[in-house]
């Protein structure tokens, strides 16, 4: 296992987090009406959480000798609330899978703090997905 492979994976995670900050901020601005009020609030709060993940990842990538990406992962732009929720649920699930895979790489490289933090971030993303699924179920 190579440190370079881990850095690339962490940069992929970073791009996803940066994209999520933008996606959630964009979607919050697109939410209108009573039905969207709770989603708007949730998206704004989650964007801040995702920014915290991005900040951590930038520091770790730098500490490992890598160059943190500044290019966000691109995303679709559904026009309705249901489409936004479905997209976000899908992308949060992808983030969980990626974080857990990168936690295994960190473990193989004997980086226990990073392993545990990536597992915590996977749990955060899973929690975000659960909150989004509850909103979708209520539509």
pLDDT digits (tens, 9 = 90+) for 40-51: 999 999 999 999
Q: Model confidence at 1, in pLDDT bands (50, 70, 90)?
A: low
Asked if residue 55 belongs to a domain, the reply is yes
In a domain, 38, yes or no: yes
Q: What are all long-range contacts of 56-64, with beta carbons under 8 Å and residues at least 24 apart? A: 56/117, 56/121, 57/10, 57/11, 57/13, 57/14, 57/17, 58/14, 60/10, 60/114, 60/117, 61/7, 61/10, 61/11, 61/14, 64/3, 64/6, 64/7, 64/10
Domain residues for 41? 3-66+77-137
**27 pLDDT exceeds 80?**
yes
The structure's pTM equals 0.95
CATH number assigned to the domain comprising residue 115:
1.20.1260.10
**Number of domains present in the structure of the chain:** 1
């Amino acid at each position: 296992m190579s440190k370079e492979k881990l850095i690339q994976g962490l940069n992929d995670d970073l791009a996803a987090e940066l994209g999520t900050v933008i996606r959630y901020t964009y979607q919050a601005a697109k939410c209108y009406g009573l039905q969207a009020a709770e989603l708007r609030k949730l998206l704004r709060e989650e964007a801040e959480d995702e920014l915290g993940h991005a900040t951590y990842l930038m520091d770790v990538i730098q500490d490992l000798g890598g160059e943190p990406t500044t290019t966000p992962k691109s995303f679709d732009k559904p026009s309705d609330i249901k489409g936004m929720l479905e997209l976000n649920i899908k992308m949060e699930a992808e983030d969980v899978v990626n974080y857990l895979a990168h936690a295994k790489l960190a473990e193989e490289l004997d980086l226990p703090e990073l392993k545990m933090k990536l597992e915590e971030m996977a749990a955060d993303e899973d929690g975000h997905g659960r909150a989004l699924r509850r909103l979708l179920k209520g539509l």
